[in-house]
Amino acid sequence: MSRHGRNSFGRRAFLGAGMSALGMAALQQRAVAQADGMAAPRFVFIYTPCGREPSWRTETPGAGFTLAPTLQMFEPFRERMAIIDGVTLVNFDYAKYNSHLGGISTLLGGKIPLKKAGDFQGGIPVSSQRTFDHLLADRIGATSPVSNIVLGGVDRNNDAGALQLSYTAADQPELPIHEPERAFAALFAGAQVNVPSPQDSALRQTWEKEILGLSQDQTNAFKHQLGSNELMQLEAYQANLNGAFQRVMDPNNFNPTSAGCSKNFATLALGITGEDYQRQHDLQSRVLAAALACGRTRVATFAMGSHLGSMTVPGSIPADPNRTGAFAGAHHLHDAGAIGHYQAFDRYYGERIRFLLQELDSYPEGAGTVLDNTILVWSTEIGWDPLEHDHERHPVFLFGNVPGKKLNMGRYHQLPFDMGANREERLANPQNRRLHEVLLTIAQAMGTTDLESFADPAYNHGPISQLLA
């Protein structure tokens, strides 16, 4: 309980007095972007489970980097791609948590997780904070109809929190929407084919303003009946109400949709083929790309699989039929069969992500495409050598860019990394850079510079200069 008290103070303050200030900051940021003639920034975090086969690393860092066999599908995007080698995660403590769960709960976090009762090593980690995707959405997504979204694939096994990457607050995970139809319904809810007349729009705005005002009145009345635990639980919902109210009050943003942004799910699904997993991943990607291009959302997290899931992919069946299928069955093995198994998954996920990049690249924007103004971060909860279940030299891939091309793409960034004596030392060494520092660097490149408190100061050395153009 006390942990909630400590961590919720800032959030409450933010939701109360700070919300309007933050909303103003978001509006100002948009105004600056528009004045510069730049598109609005967008952010997508992609999670795939269980690390990847070690050959993703190259011995030729810099602009002339070579792409490993499992990364060849990105050759057409190499100038809009960056590989980051030499970061680890939050120092979650191997002694306290399962390697997978410790990684998952901190991928989008900047601080040590909380421990909940559970079967894994006597405790299950959960994020101790509102995660980066939400914090960024508070700033760059506040004026879009859906400030951010968390998507999933067919694999929905969330046992022990296997899919809990995104948190609205401490210990409040936002689970992925796995069904593309539901994702579409959420992202395009309220999008209208016909733009209403100014008079109708003004009336509608007044109506919605009173509705949201009434629900806020009721929320305040309800809060008088609640204790501190319940007030904390209400915060995320209150943030939704506040966000909707803010959008309705914004004359430039009310009824932002136009005919061009109205989409039909059946039309989006045309031409999507393949096995169940592939079809669903690609359909999610197409829906997401359409939503990002339309301004329906600006921030997304896409959990493509679960490390406890049962997904199989083409080529993941090695000679021994008993060593096939889910990562759960093979990723603890340490032989050629396991390597082949990993490579099959790496190729599969790579192809799916390339599909998403192609979708984003199909939408023109300014002198380029939506991909040019969308930064995608692809990572996983396990580090360099997944067979060891460690978190050193974590595989991190960037695609796209932020508006103004402020990130140094088209390179393999080799960051210094102290290997120390063992994996515990590597994770604990404060000099080793962290994934959350990459995220903060991206935020800074977007012009968002007020997120420093998101990360533990002992493990935050400011922007990673190599990544900035």
Partner 1 sequence: MAGAGGAPTTISAACEPTQLLPTRLVRLASSELRAQLRAALPGVAESLISAVDLQAEHVAPVAERVISAADFSAYYQAVLSLAQAYVDQSADAAACRTGVADSCLQGVLRPAWQRLYRRVPTSEEWAAASLRFQTLLATHPLATSAAGVVAGALLSPQVLYRSESGQGTDARGVTRLSRAELIDLASFAFTGRVPEPNVLAQLSAVDDAGLKTALGTQVATWVATDTFRERASDFLELRFGVQHLPELSRSDAAFTPALKTAFTGEFREFMGETLLAPGGSFGDLFSKSPTRQFPGLEAVYANDEPTRRQGVLGLASLLAARAAPNGSDPVKRGIMVRVDLLCETVPPPIAGADFSKVMVTDDMQTRERFATLAAVAPCNGCHQVINPPGYLFEEFDQLGRHRDSEKGRPIDAHGSLPPAFGKQPYAGVSEWDGLVPLASWLASAPQARRCFAAHFVSYLLSQAVPSTVDNCQLPGITARFEQSGRLDELASDLVTSDLFQYRTRGNP
The stretch among 85-93, 107-115, 152-160, 410-418 that binds partner 1 (CB under 8 A) is: 152-160
Query: Which residues lie across from 374 on neighbouring strands?
Result: 42
Q: Is the dihedral of CA 60, 64, 68, 70 positive or negative?
A: positive
Query: Is the Cβ of residue 87 or residue 212 nearer to partner 1 in the bound state?
Result: 212
**Which of 448, 456, 438, 353 is closest to 40 using CA atoms?**
448
185 binds partner 1 (CB under 8 A): yes
Segment interacting with partner 1 (CB under 8 A) among 11-19, 37-45, 140-148, 434-442: 140-148
Q: Residue for token digits 């400011």? A: 462
- Taking the complex as a whole, the smallest distance from the CB of residue 215 to partner 1 amounts, in Å, to 4
Q: What is the DSSP string of 374-426?
A: EEEEEE-SS-S-GGGT--SS--EEEEE--TT--B--SEEEE------SSHHHH
Nearer to partner 1, 43 or 412 (CB): 43
For partner 1, which residue of 227, 251, 271, 416 counts as binding (CB under 8 A)? 227
Take residue 63 and report the two structure tokens written for it.
Answer: 């602009």
Does an H or E element contain 110, and which?
none
- Please pick, from the candidates 33, 40, 90, 150, the single residue that binds partner 1 as defined by CB under 8 A: 150
Among 272, 317, 339, 428, binds partner 1 (CB under 8 A): 317
- Residue 76: CB minimum distance to partner 1, A: 30
Long-range contacts of 5-14 (CB under 8 A, 24+ apart): 5/228, 7/128, 7/129, 7/169, 7/170, 8/169, 8/170, 8/232, 8/235, 10/453, 11/130, 11/169, 11/235, 12/231, 12/232, 12/235, 14/138
Candidates 168, 284, 369, 380: give the one binding partner 1 (CB under 8 A): 168
Element (H, E) at 156: none
Site for partner 1 in 268-297 (CB under 8 A): 276-277, 297
Q: What angle do CA 312, 313, 316 make, to 5 degrees?
A: 85
Site string for partner 1, 362-401 (x = CB under 8 A): -------------------------xxxx-----------
Q: Where are the beta strands (DSSP E) in 231-359?
A: 299-303
Q: Which of 85, 174, 359, 361 binds partner 1 (CB under 8 A)?
A: 174
**Residue whose structure tokens are 């100002």:** 28
Count residues binding partner 1 (CB under 8 A).
Answer: 93
Query: CB of residue 105 vs partner 1: minimum separation in angstroms?
Result: 13
Give the nearest distance from C-beta 250 to partner 1 in angstroms. 15
Q: How far apart are CA 328 and CA 343, in angstroms?
A: 15
Q: Which of 48, 22, 120, 103 is nearest to 309 (CA)?
A: 48
Q: How far is the CB of 98 from partner 1 (least distance, A)?
A: 5
**156 belongs to the binding site for partner 1 (CB under 8 A):** yes
> Residue from 214, 259, 468, 469 that binds partner 1 (CB under 8 A)?
214
| Binders of partner 1 in range 402-441 (CB under 8 A) | 423
Told to check if 203 binds partner 1 by CB under 8 A, we report yes
| Binding span for partner 1 by CB under 8 A among 9-17, 42-50, 59-67, 175-183 | 175-183
Residue 189 binds partner 1, judged by CB under 8 A:
yes
What contacts 59, CB < 8 A, 6 or more positions away?
none
Strands 299-303 and 42-47 turn out to be parallel
Residue from 25, 27, 234, 269 in contact with partner 1 (CB under 8 A) = 234
- Per DSSP, the three-state class of 66 is coil
Select 305 or 447, whichever has its Cβ closest to partner 1: 305
Q: Which of residues 109-138 bind partner 1 (CB under 8 A)?
A: 117, 119-122, 137
**CB-nearer residue toward partner 1: 297 or 441:** 297
Helix (H) or strand (E) holding 83: strand 81-85
Nearer Cβ to partner 1 (167/378)? 167
Q: Please, are residues 245 and 209 in contact by the beta-carbon 8 Å criterion?
A: yes
Tell me the Cα Rg of the chain: 22
66 sits near partner 1 (criterion: CB under 8 A): no
Measure the CA–CA gap between 104 and 173, rounded to whole angstroms. Answer: 12
C-beta of 76 vs 207, nearer to partner 1: 207
Question: Of 18-26, 46-54, 317-325, 445-453, which segment contacts partner 1 by CB under 8 A?
Answer: 317-325
Distance in Å, CB of 322 to partner 1, minimum: 4
> Structure tokens of 77?
């995007």
Asked if 136 and 43 touch (Cβ cutoff 8 Å), the reply is yes
Binding of residue 324 to partner 1 (CB under 8 A)? yes
Among 98, 369, 408, 444, the residue binding partner 1 under the rule CB under 8 A is 98
**Residue from 322, 367, 458, 465 that binds partner 1 (CB under 8 A)?**
322
- Considering the complex, what minimum distance in angstroms separates the CB of residue 1 from partner 1? 3
Select from 294, 299, 306, 370 the least CA-distant residue to 149: 299
The minimum distance between CB 201 and partner 1, in angstroms, equals: 13
